[in-house]
Amino acid sequence: MHWRKFNGERIQLPIKDAVADALQKEKEKGTKLKVCIGTDSQVKGAETEFATVIVFLREHCGGFMYIHNEKSLQKYHIKERMLVEVAKSIEIAYELCPLFIEYGVDMEVHADINTNPHFKSNDALKEAMGYILGMGFAFKAKPDAFASSCCADKMCN
């Protein structure tokens, strides 16, 4: 998996090591952090592009994020694509969770799923919420899921 920073700089370390380094640096500065993980996707012709982000929020002091893009030629129905987004977020959250526990950092998984039943993505809400909460993670959906609906959305090229 290739991860990069918002400025485009490629992260050379495995993501777990890069996150550990970031958490250590922020701890040394005395910064209180919160992490939000989310994935969004866009269909472009035969291709579906997924963008997963790890957003680090510094209390009262901005933040930064790490980004991973991935393309697929698989065709997805809307509900299936929403659940694939959630699965990608959970995969990285699960990998990084021990670090967040070690550093005392709160973490949320954000799903780009609308809570309004008039939107197609709402079909996946119950399954996504069950999946995320069942894994023991805090869950946010639209309009509160900024990591997926804003940050990741902007990273789908």
38: which 2 tokens? 């989310």
Residue pair 70/87 in contact by the 8 Å Cβ criterion: no
Residue 9 has pLDDT above 70, yes or no: yes
How many structural domains does the chain have?
1
Burial 65-98 (b: 16+ CB within 10 A, else e): bbbbbeeeeeeeeebebbbbbbebbbebbeebbe
pLDDT per residue as tens digits for the range 13-48: 999 999 999 999 999 999 999 999 999 999 999 999
Q: Tokens 């930064």 label which residue?
A: 64
Tell me the percentage of the chain whose pLDDT exceeds 90: 69
Q: Tokens 């990608």 label which residue?
A: 88
Q: What's the pLDDT score for residue 117? A: 80
Where in the sequence is the domain holding 97, given as residue range(s)?
Answer: 3-155
pLDDT per residue as tens digits for the range 43-102: 999 999 999 999 999 998 899 999 999 999 999 998 899 999 999 999 999 999 999 999
pTM, two decimal places = 0.92
41: which 2 tokens? 């996707």
DSSP H helical ranges for 74-113: 78-102
Taking the alpha carbons at both ends of the chain, their separation in whole angstroms is 17
Q: What's the pLDDT score for residue 157? A: 62
Mean pLDDT in the chain?
91
**Residue 134 has what DSSP assignment?**
H
Give the C-alpha separation, 21 to 19, whole Å.
5
